[in-house]
Amino acid sequence: MLDFAEKTDGNEADRTAEGFAKMFGSYFPPEFSITEGNAWMSTLNNSVQYVSVIRPGEKVAKLVKRMHYVSFVGMFRSDLFEGLCVGHAPKKCKICGKWFLTTNARHTKYCGGYAPGDKLHRTCRQIGNLKGREQRELADDHPAETDL
């Protein structure tokens, strides 16, 4: 499964629900069988119910999906696949190396967690933004470097 996550992490990946579906189809072909011993594809350890509920503070009932799992891995796998269906996918932070969840099709490089070893307690995203800014300012075509 880590191979699949790393494939979604690549810069060439189409980070949309359709792109993830295509990538999923190439990684897990249609003729793939759960009898081949791949527990990631098994759906035998959960149950799904659809129920009508009125949420606290609301007056109108909504139809919601209630899922029950036998194992944590089953819940994790289901949550990962449900996220892929709507374009959310894991991404590995280029600064701290931890995995985080993206919620849009942007090629986000950095997580929102604190950067390791940063004395100012900045996030990886803040550090990444500063690195990108420094690289842009050092570029030959930067407005500050060009003659007017």
pLDDT digits (tens, 9 = 90+) for 121-145: 999 999 988 887 766 666 677 566 5
| Contact between residue 142 and residue 136 where contact means Cβ atoms under 8 Å apart | yes
| Residue 133 within a domain | no
**Residues contacting 85, CB < 8 A, separation 6+:** 17, 20, 21
- Residue 84 belongs to domain spanning: 2-111
* Whether residue 79 has pLDDT greater than 80: yes
* Whether residue 98 has pLDDT greater than 90: yes
39-50 pLDDT, tens per residue?
Answer: 555 556 778 889
As for how many domains the chain has, the answer is 1
| Residue 140 within a domain | no
| Residue 138 within a domain | no
To the nearest 10°, report the CA torsion of 132, 107, 113, 124: -10
| Residue 56 within a domain | yes
Measured CA angle at 139 (ends 135, 142), to 5 deg: 110
| Residue 148 within a domain | no
| Residue 99 within a domain | yes
| Residue 131 within a domain | no
Measured CA angle at 48 (ends 5, 86), to 5 deg: 40
**Residues contacting 38, CB < 8 A, separation 6+:** 32
* pLDDT score for 30: 67
